[in-house]
Amino acid sequence: MELGARKLQILQAIVDDYIISAEPVGSRTIAKKYGIGISSATIRNEMADLEEMGYLEQPHTSAGRIPSDKGYRLYVDRLMKTRGLSISEANYIKDLYDKKTRQIEQVIFQTSKILSDITDYTAVILGPQLNQVLVKHIQLVPIGNHCALLVIVTNAGIIKDAIVDIPEGVNGDYLHRISNMLNDLFRDQNLGGITLEPMLKMQEGMIQNREFFNSLVDAFTESIGVLDTREVYLGGTTNIFKFPEYHDIIKAKEFLDLLEQKDLLYDLLARNDGKGVSVTIGEENRHQELRDYSVVTATYSVGGRTLGTLGIIGPTRMEYSKAISVMDFMGKTLSSYLTQLFYKE
Amino acid sequence: MELGARKLQILQAIVDDYIISAEPVGSRTIAKKYGIGISSATIRNEMADLEEMGYLEQPHTSAGRIPSDKGYRLYVDRLMKTRGLSISEANYIKDLYDKKTRQIEQVIFQTSKILSDITDYTAVILGPQLNQVLVKHIQLVPIGNHCALLVIVTNAGIIKDAIVDIPEGVNGDYLHRISNMLNDLFRDQNLGGITLEPMLKMQEGMIQNREFFNSLVDAFTESIGVLDTREVYLGGTTNIFKFPEYHDIIKAKEFLDLLEQKDLLYDLLARNDGKGVSVTIGEENRHQELRDYSVVTATYSVGGRTLGTLGIIGPTRMEYSKAISVMDFMGKTLSSYLTQLFYKE
DNA sequence: ATTAGCACTCGCTAAGGGAGAGTGCTAACA
DNA sequence: TGTTAGCACTCTCCCTTAGCGAGTGCTAAT
């Protein structure tokens, strides 16, 4: 069957209407509100065709139609009117970034808040990709009678720390020397490529303070491990309550449980290839748990290198046009903010 | 009116039953299940008395009774059978702590998970009290062409970092010198007592690199500010769905929104005076928003000094006995774990 | 003082019965 | 041949009604 211009027009009207109303759309509504100059009977015929072709669905016999995932896909790819951000929206975002936070974590956290505020969906952000990150400094800082903090600083502005036990007879100078050795071993190394071997070799050479070294190796391993785990930041987790289709307690709980599965979210976000905004609709999602939601992602980068991913999750009945504009804008804004932070001109 | 032994016995039975069933308790139920050897008619009379005295409430004329907040209070103070933790529960907790995490943040986060898992309520933990915390080390670590990371390490094992812009012509040696000056100024100072003054004085002395100093002062202020804000950790936020009285979407959303108000939670937790487990029931809460919930808190400490607070929030129909036992045990376990971490014997 | 008996209240649930929205089909029309 | 008006039909939603069950409070007997 042909997918003529009129059919497209009708599909567009249905999706537009359903996105706003969350109610099945009937032929009369289309005829009245979106006057295309044809009668509701004709529209009914076209709608039956569109359903047969898989673009529409009918919740029950005597209800209007709702778009199928395939319908949304067509809408996103060909029908949707792309709208840029309004000036006020763009200004709202820029104003918030003007607070000049200097802590990466804060910046990302704040971004998730902005995203969820503007879109009304739930924001999910994947923190900086750490296996492309270099160790810049390692130091043991004594903080109490018998313990020190192992501090590892990377060029992504991420720090991790762990507590190291210090036995009797180890003084500050000694810690300083060890710190220097660690620096010599690991500075400017890629985090992903770091192995424990040089450290174990160093440990062998040390006959005294074996206990201390064990503790140090543990702390080091743990820190590197944690650095390798990318953080997932969430914003607007309760936004889902704004949509009538999730007023059902079971569905709401399902969604909130979904957000607790960090590895799933990670997987979801890590899939963006860094080439612009990506939209995944309902069944298109790999994960069964996500088959009722749509996801829009974009990436952010520093100095041209992709570092992480922004995403929003909402019902398949999503305001794709707005979502895509916002994601595009936010990805670019965050990138330029971070770039500026790191390479101040 | 007298509050005789039999009335107490009946009140106890009602609270016990209601905590489990979440259904108003009738006189027949008491007579049957909690055979006290008196008839339901007598129990009805006693129940009417208890209601008049304010210990019970009746949702509607022909329903059973439910405990009032005053009733719960009496139950907690005088009636409840205190039960210690079961061996398996205690072992479960100990096993999890045996993983020996060396990162304070991780330890606290994990504690919140354990608390919410065991109790089925929502766990809220207030991070270490930082204004009693000393600065142990400050350093500027260069991490890129034109930026460095300002790293502040404290004896509580907390680190904060912020990015500092570096203008042309400032080299590593210079940063090193500045780091040393900062250390001389602030090392071993109490975080709460730190002012910017010495730093501004230092800034005055510097004629060159004014821009760099502005950036540094900003970063410093921001870091100290963030360090002063105590983190609130949450665990089991969706546990509330387990209780039938919160199957109502409005109430569920109300609760989840409550958890987003960090300052309220902070206030709630900061109120524990450090002398054991504290129970606040419904209306007893200062905050209007909390009047439908009960809160049980305990503190944790390192080397005898109280550092922070653990809490759980749940319906007033809470398993107080279990909750109190668990909180008591967790407070002590966390304290001893942290103490051991800091002062390894 | 306690208890059996009983009338009464109230919430819950299921059943019935429009009202309304929307469809699909048929027949007339341009 | 494509379009449209008309109409019977379907299905959901909501309101009302009725009956059931749990539980109470009162009264009178023990």
Give the mean model confidence (pLDDT) for residues A15-19.
97
Residue A98 structure tokens: 């003007």
Q: Which residues contact B339 (CB under 8 A, 6 or more apart)?
A: B301, B302, B303
pLDDT at residue B345, rounded to an integer: 44
pLDDT at residue A165, rounded to an integer: 84
Could you tell me which chain B residue has the CA closest to the CA of A145?
Answer: B343
Would you say residue A83 has pLDDT above 80? yes
Confidence grade of residue A130 (pLDDT, cut at 50, 70, 90):
low
Instruction: State how far the Cα of A55 lies from the Cα of A71, in Å rounded to an integer.
Output: 4
CB-CB under 8 Å, A163 with B154: no
Confidence grade of residue A131 (pLDDT, cut at 50, 70, 90):
low
pLDDT at residue A344, rounded to an integer: 57
Please, which residues 183-242 of chain A have a Cβ atom closer than 8 Å to chain B? 218-219, 222-223, 226, 237-238, 241
What's the mean pLDDT when you consider all of chain A? 90
Would you say residue B151 has pLDDT above 70? yes
User: Is there contact between A13 and strand C, defined as CB under 7 Å from any strand atom?
Assistant: no
Give the mean model confidence (pLDDT) for residues B175-196.
88
Higher pLDDT residue, B344 or A135?
A135
- pLDDT tens sequence across A171-210: 888 899 999 999 999 998 887 788 888 888 887 777 777 7
Would you say residue A11 has pLDDT above 90? yes
Lowest average pLDDT, out of A80-84, A239-243, A307-311, goes to A80-84
B43 CA from C3 C1′ (Å): 11
User: Is there contact between B45 and strand C, defined as CB under 7 Å from any strand atom?
Assistant: yes
pLDDT at residue B69, rounded to an integer: 98
The CA–CA distances, whole Å, from B153 to A207, B47, B126, B138, B220 equal 30, 60, 20, 6, 12
Residues B122 and B312: beta-carbon distance below 8 Å: yes
DSSP, residue by residue, A255-315? HHHHHH-HHHHHHHHHT--SSS-EEEEGGGSSSGGGTTEEEEEEEEEETTEEEEEEEEEEE
Would you say residue A328 has pLDDT above 50? yes
Which chain A residues are Cβ-neighbours of B209 within 8 angstroms?
none
Residue A343 structure tokens: 């390479």
B135 CA from D16 C1′ (Å): 73
Higher pLDDT residue, B173 or A209?
B173
Residue A199 structure tokens: 């450290």
Q: What residue has token string 């039956």?
A: A48
The CA–CA distances, whole Å, from B109 to A193, B70, B139, B226, B299 equal 28, 34, 27, 19, 15
Give the mean model confidence (pLDDT) for residues A100-112.
87
- pLDDT tens sequence across B1-36: 789 999 999 999 999 999 999 999 999 999 999 878
Share of chain A above pLDDT 70, in %: 99
The CA–CA distances, whole Å, from B57 to A212, B15, B48, B50 equal 62, 12, 9, 9
Residue B207 structure tokens: 């004629």
A161-189 as b/e: b if 16+ CB within 10 A: bbbbbbeeebeeeebeebbeebeebbeee
Lowest average pLDDT, out of A329-343, B198-212, B308-322, goes to B198-212
Burial of A254 (0-12, 13-18, 19+ CB in 10 A): middle
Higher pLDDT residue, B125 or B149?
B125
CB-CB under 8 Å, A102 with B219: yes
For residue A18, which of A206, A244, A208, A289 has the smallest C-alpha distance? A244
User: Is there contact between A26 and strand C, defined as CB under 7 Å from any strand atom?
Assistant: yes
Indicate if the alpha-carbon torsion angle A113, A118, A124, A128 is positive or negative.
Answer: negative
Please, which residues 135-164 of chain B have a Cβ atom closer than 8 Å to chain A? 136-137, 139, 141-147, 149, 151, 153-157, 159-164
What's the mean pLDDT when you consider all of chain B? 90
Q: What is the largest CA-CA distance in chain B?
A: 92
Confidence grade of residue B265 (pLDDT, cut at 50, 70, 90):
very high
pLDDT at residue B131, rounded to an integer: 61
Give the mean model confidence (pLDDT) for residues B171-197.
88
**A73 vs B: CB within 8 A:** no
The listed range with the strongest mean pLDDT (A153-157, A328-332, B97-101) is A328-332
What are the helix (H) ranges across chain B?
5-21, 27-33, 40-52, 69-74, 87-97, 104-119, 172-186, 197-205, 210-228, 249-260, 262-270, 320-342
- pLDDT tens sequence across A282-319: 999 999 999 999 999 999 998 788 889 999 999 999 99
Could you tell me which chain B residue has the CA closest to the CA of A135?
Answer: B143
**B36 vs A: CB within 8 A:** no
Residues 16-55 of A with CB within 7 A of strand D:
37-39, 41-42, 45
Strands (DSSP E) found in chain A: 56-57, 66-67, 122-126, 135-142, 147-154, 159-165, 232-235, 278-281, 293-302, 305-315
- pLDDT tens sequence across B65-95: 999 999 999 999 999 998 889 999 999 988 8
Give the CA count within 13 Å in the CB-facing half-sphere of B35: 2
Which chain B residues are Cβ-neighbours of A345 within 8 angstroms?
146
Q: Which residues contact B167 (CB under 8 A, 6 or more apart)?
A: B146, B209, B211, B212
Indicate if the alpha-carbon torsion angle B60, B61, B67, B68 is positive or negative.
Answer: positive
A250 CA from D20 C1′ (Å): 30
**Amino acid letter at B341?**
L
Instruction: State how far the Cα of A92 lies from the Cα of A51, in Å rounded to an integer.
Output: 41
CB-CB under 8 Å, A252 with B104: no
Give the mean model confidence (pLDDT) for residues A323-338.
94
Confidence grade of residue A345 (pLDDT, cut at 50, 70, 90):
very low
Min Cα–Cα distance to chain A from B13, Å: 32
Chain C nucleotides close to protein (CB under 7 A) are: 2-5, 8-11, 20-26
At B303, is the secondary structure helix, strand, or coil?
Answer: coil
pLDDT at residue A212, rounded to an integer: 86
Higher pLDDT residue, A54 or B197?
A54
Residues B79 and B54: beta-carbon distance below 8 Å: no
Would you say residue B107 has pLDDT above 50? yes
Burial of B247 (0-12, 13-18, 19+ CB in 10 A): middle
